[in-house]
Amino acid sequence: MGKLVEPHGGKGLTCCLLEGAELESEKKKAASLKQIQISPREEGDLIMMGIGGFSPLTGFMGRDDWKGVCDNFLLSDGTFWPIPVTLSADKSDADSISLGQEIALISSQSGELIATMKVTEKYAMTEKDKMYECEKTFMGEGTKTAEDFWKIAKDDHPGVQMVMKQKDVNLAGPVKVLSEAEYPTKYKGVYLRPAETRKIFEERGWATVAALQLRNPMHRSHEYLAKIAAEVCDGVFIHSLVGNLKPGDIPAEVRVRCIDVLVKKYFVPEHILQGGYPLDMRYAGPREALLHATFRQNYGANRMIIGRDHAGVGDFYGMFEAQTIFEKIPRPTAPGKALLCEPLKIDWTFYCMKCDGMASLRTCPHGKADRVILSGTMLRKGLSEGAPIADHFGREEVLDILREYYGGLTEKVQIKTHAAATGAMK
């Protein structure tokens, strides 16, 4: 693997994607197998297992792994893992499947055959179990007690809603992935497998690589974060989510155009690589920050840029809880089992009129009135309402793309703001 960080788990890239004659043979066999419909989130998880993005996972988690991850951030073999990766099925379907039986996993979005799976375990997920997973995965410092959390989570947290809508039985077992869905064609040149990014990094001679997670269009704060990382690392991997988001978020193809124009006009290309990955957002805040670092390690990054409210939603998480969680996770001593991708922690960033440039709470001594608070939520809200965008919020080339997108919508998008987005700052 050269000078790059090793893939997570100590087993190299564990890729479950079949190709060539093996793929064709498995597709023929799948035609006679019992079919189970899978959710968009499960489809994205499968593709990541297929391409090695979820190394060392090679299948959906059994109950011991699920509970170990919820309770202690650890798989049953002692490997660090931050978020459950599970597959649910209706009880009637689960009852008809025998242990050891192979099944075909079909996309609920496209009807395409995505994978086959050998079912090695079935375990019930009661409402109590689902609530337990939600409290462990999604409850942050923004809600002090479970009672407070549930007062708002079922209505306001998309990740919680996703888990609570899961079916009644989880199926576990190894998978063989047969398709990467639309990603290789729809996002050609952007959708990259971990083996591909590692090859590019090595060809460029990069040893220290920082990953920048994006789910919003790239505004000036994102640009600043990437440039800070470029100063201290060999290169920056701008890695945006091209899977599903919540209603009101901007589609991936629009966000990719925004990144393209920024990279071409405002970055040194030798130190930047843009890529996309096929997951759905879970909006798990601190836990999702850990997941982002885990699979970025598989892509070859040894640093994960973590700024304000990383992967958050609403006011569920403390503004820098996604940074401090890295100090609280277990550090297994067995080879390959610990997370090796470390956080690159950056304070709240903004444009300061008096500083006449981008700054952070660590570098700017001026007051709130002098600062342009940069928030993807506020940007989307302003654009959706046709409101003027504050100077220095985003590059004009990016804003032109976003205005074109919002101008083409036939229905107005409702954007809910929260304390972080409206500029609450110490």
Positions marked catalytic = 215-216
Helices (H), 236-391: 252-266, 286-299, 321-324, 376-384
Q: How far is CA 261 from CA 85, 116, 226, 267, in A?
A: 35, 39, 15, 10
CA 348, distance to chain mean position in Å, is 21
Count of positions (residues) in the chain: 426
What is the residue whose two structure tokens read 């609450």?
424
DSSP 126: -
DSSP string, 346-381: ---EEEETTTTEEEETTT--S-GGGEEE--HHHHHH
Q: Is 67 helix (H, G, I), strand (E, B) or coil?
A: helix
The whole-angstrom separation of Cα 397 and Cα 404 is: 11
User: Is 47 in contact with 114 (CB distance < 8 Å)?
Assistant: yes
DSSP string, 196-226: HHHHHHHHTT-SSEEEEEESS---HHHHHHH
> Angle at CA 414, nearest 5°, toward 408 and 415?
110
The whole-angstrom separation of Cα 258 and Cα 261 is: 5
